Amino acid sequence: MAVLMDGKALAEEIKAELRGKVAELKRRGIVPTLATFLVGDHPASKIYVEGKRKDCEEVGISFRLYTFPPTAREEELKELLHRLNGERGVHGIFIQLPLPSHLNPARLVEEISPQKDVDGLHPYNVGRLWKGQYDPERSLLPCTPKGILKLLDRYGVEVRGKLVTIINRSDLVGKPLAKLLLDRDATVLLCHSKTRDLEGKTREADIVVSAVGRRPSFVLTAEMIKEGAVVVDVGMNYVDGKLMGDADFE
């Protein structure tokens, strides 16, 4: 039987720990503040941002939301980014993706101060990750890969020497997760929409990480997983107004 990873309990533990750290910072006169950019009216983006707001409020982090119309110009966003970079009271900056097609996300991320780049996507932070010049706990790394490693650690899953199949090749999940796992001596296989015989690739794996988010065109089924494998489902799908992952629990 496969082991399905459940991150809810771990998330609550992390939030409890963060509440204590935030309270201590506030006692010292520091109010941790996250600035978030939301451009346009993408329905899923609004839900993601609202989730971030809720998480921040639960642990005591100040959440600033800057909204822009779908027609916003790149210069407008850059101007605000530069101002927030220089504002000592802002400690993290986040741009909700995707952006309207006329905006270049890579160019905008480059305008964020590397020290405030909470997504870990600035070229400076990406470079440190790929050069191995990072601290797993303190460095600014993409949060989903970092969370996956914490989940594996919580369940006592050893990755050294294991074959890990990741169904995602994005800069935010698949690629950084692959590097973090390689640094733990795992053998990593990155799969994507052009991968041939995906089921064969997943059935070989000791650990499968699914981050597709394209239901109903993709569903991770039991037939795709070998006996005793570990499944980490971080896919986000909105079906009939409900949030669900990639895996079919039936």
Q: What are the C-alpha distances in Å from 248 to residues 10, 182, 203, 223, 226?
A: 22, 28, 15, 10, 15
Q: Is 119 a catalytic residue?
A: yes
User: Active site residue: 52, 116, 146, 201, which one?
Assistant: 52
User: Active site residue: 117, 119, 233, 246, which one?
Assistant: 119
- Starting at the earlier edge strand, list the strands of the sheet with 62-68: 62-68, 33-39, 92-95
Q: Is 52 a catalytic residue?
A: yes
Query: What residue spans of 32-156 are helical by DSSP H?
Result: 43-59, 74-85, 105-110, 123-130, 143-154
User: Active site residue: 96, 179, 206, 246, which one?
Assistant: 96
Query: What residue spans of 98-230 are helical by DSSP H?
Result: 105-110, 123-130, 143-154, 174-182, 198-204
Q: In whole angstroms, give the CA distance from residue 149 to residue 62.
A: 27
Structure tokens at 179: 């590097």
Exposure string over 176-212, b if 16+ CB within 10 A, otherwise e: bbbbbbeebebebbbbeeeeeebeebbbebbbbbbbb
Q: In whole angstroms, give the CA distance from residue 85 to residue 111.
A: 9
What is the set of active-site residues?
Answer: 52, 96, 119
